[in-house]
Amino acid sequence: MLTPAAALETILARVAPLAAEQVPLLDAVGRVLAAPLVADRALPAWDNSAMDGYAVRFAELAVGSPLPISQTIAAGHTGDHPLAPGTVARIFTGAAVPPGADTVIMQEDVTADGHSMTPTELPRAGANVRRQGTDVQPGQALLPAGRGVTAGDVGLLAALGRSVVSVVRAPVVTILSTGDELAAVDAPALARGQIRNSNAWMLAAAVRAAGGVPRIVPIVPDDRAAVDAALAEGVQADALLTSGGVSVGDYDHVGHALRALAGDAFGFWKVAVKPGKPLAFAMVGRCAVFGLPGNPVSAGVTFELFAAPALRKLAGHTRLARRRVSAVLDSALPAAQGREIYARAALREVDGVLHVDPARTQSSGALSSLAAADALVITPPHTPARGAGSAVQIMRLDIEDRVAP
């Protein structure tokens, strides 16, 4: 079996960012820039005042010496009339500083009667003037390709007049659940032996959080011909997530069907990880296919470990996998044998130190334990049992903190 690290390396080597598309400015939030942002103009575009006050020639200022007010400049006005020597201009925040002025004295530092102003305290030379281009220069590289667009970035793009942005296309992801036991989430009643198709909705939410566009398709029965047909249709997307049918039971058809469909492009089947050992991966044309286990926790954990980084790469991100950080155990953790274990745990912070408590059921069918988890505690293979107070490595699930692979 592949190690988790080798499995992820195999996956990421097979997927690449999708093509660029143009989207309206607000729709770019959370998307990834397909090309670097290079300024085509200066910001500020002209010298402007940082304060309400008076635009002056610094050399003409003296405490107690009045100067006449020759013009008034409000924000939005051109301020293109030169400042007459020996005069000042009444000016407001954001307004253009007139030619000839080199300083703005704050209104709090003067006395004024509407016709003249008298300094009571002198500013430094050049004070309170935002000079043209001091924020951004034409030709300046501002944002790199591969950056997820933030609200601050949107403000910068808007200031540069970019109403349309080139971003990497969001991956469309088909979500296909198999199993005769599955029923629709809104089924009015369940027969004995049936369960609701919770995995599809959990995975759809995870896909959306990873920057993808989820498409849930109808439940597929445990029938090889039906699975073959559903896979052939599902791989028309950028990625396909299947849930269930990848183990070795008589009714588990997904792994065999995927191997037949992918041919030489089949990647692997089974990873040395717990939960989630029966994970399959293949490329079918341009579609990345992940055969996830049917147990809810196994599906959720393997999605986070293997599918989420791939979807983020498809979406153009460069920071793909969650950062691993140190924490202190608050309860004992069993030994690991031949597989790397990811235990769900509650997280808390004490005096700046992270603590994790995995003292909850670790059954792969206990969906409530995944919903309540803030972190996954990582136990490498062949690690002895550890007691409370031991240092461990964790992946935090409560924040979006990722690193380059």
3-state secondary structure of 272: coil
Is residue 201 domain-shared with residue 113, that is, in the same domain? no
Distance CA 333, CA 379 (A): 9
- CATH number of the domain to which 92 belongs: 2.170.190.11
Taking 80 as the threshold, does the pLDDT of residue 370 lie above it?
A: no
Average confidence (pLDDT) over 369-382? 89
The per-residue pLDDT for 271 is 96
pLDDT digits (tens, 9 = 90+) for 136-160: 999 999 999 999 999 999 999 999 9
CATH number of the structural domain spanning residue 143: 3.90.105.10
In the predicted structure, residue 76 carries a pLDDT above the cut 80? yes
Q: Write down the mean pLDDT value for the chain.
A: 94
How many Cα atoms sit within 13 Å of 81 on the Cβ side?
14
Q: Cα 144 to the chain's mean position, in Å? A: 15
| Confidence label for 372 from pLDDT (cuts 50, 70 and 90) | confident
Residue 365 has pLDDT above 80, yes or no: no
Are 307 and 183 in the same domain?
yes
Confidence at 364, pLDDT banded by 50, 70, 90: low
Q: How confident is the model at residue 246 (pLDDT cuts 50, 70, 90)?
A: confident
pLDDT on residue 361: 64
Tokens of 14: 């097979």
Q: Are residues 100 and 194 in the same domain?
A: no
E strand map for 197-258: 213-216, 239-243
pLDDT of amino acid 363: 65
User: Do residues 192 and 285 both lie within one domain?
Assistant: yes
Name the domain count of the chain.
4
Q: How confident is the model at residue 353 (pLDDT cuts 50, 70, 90)?
A: very high
Same-domain pairing of 26 and 83: no
Q: Give the model's pLDDT for residue 217.
A: 96
Residue 176 sits in the same domain as residue 309: yes
Which stretch of 40-49, 102-111, 186-195 has the lowest confidence by average pLDDT?
186-195
Phi-psi region of 263 (alpha: psi -120 to 50; beta: other; left: phi over 0): left
CA pair distance 290, 268, nearest whole angstrom: 10
pLDDT at 245 over 80: yes
More confidently predicted of 372 and 322: 322
Residue 384 pLDDT exceeds 70: yes
The reported pLDDT for the residue numbered 78 is 80
Q: What is the pTM of this model?
A: 0.88
Residue 12: CATH number of its domain: 3.40.980.10
Quick: pLDDT tens for 217-227: 999 999 999 99
The residue among 80, 107, 130 that closes a domain is 130
Same domain (yes/no): 112, 245 = no
- Which among 253, 287, 317 is the end of a domain? 317
Same-domain check for residues 72 and 185: no
Question: What whole-number distance in Å separates Cα of residue 54 and Cα of residue 91?
Answer: 5
- Write out the H or E segment, with its range, that includes residue 70: strand 67-73
Instruction: Examine the domain organization and report whether 304 and 199 are in the same domain.
Output: yes
Confidence bin at 66 (pLDDT 50/70/90): very high
Pair (274, 231) in one structural domain: yes
- Which residue type does 263 have? G
CB 276 within 8 A of CB 343: no
What domain range includes position 142? 20-43+134-168
Same domain? 25 vs 164: yes
| Residue where a domain terminates, one of 116, 146, 168 | 168
- Per-residue confidence band for 262, with pLDDT thresholds at 50, 70 and 90: very high
**pLDDT confidence of residue 251:** 67
> What is the C-alpha end-to-end distance of the chain, expressed in Å?
21
pLDDT of residue 405: 83
**CATH code (residue 341):** 2.40.340.10
Q: Is the pLDDT of residue 308 over 70?
A: yes
In terms of domains, do 39 and 9 share one?
A: no
Q: Please determine, for residue 301, whether its predicted confidence score (pLDDT) is greater than 70.
A: yes
109 phi and psi angles, rounded to 5 deg: -105, 20
Q: Under DSSP, is residue 92 helix (H, G, I), strand (E, B) or coil? A: coil
8 Å CB contact between 239 and 290: yes
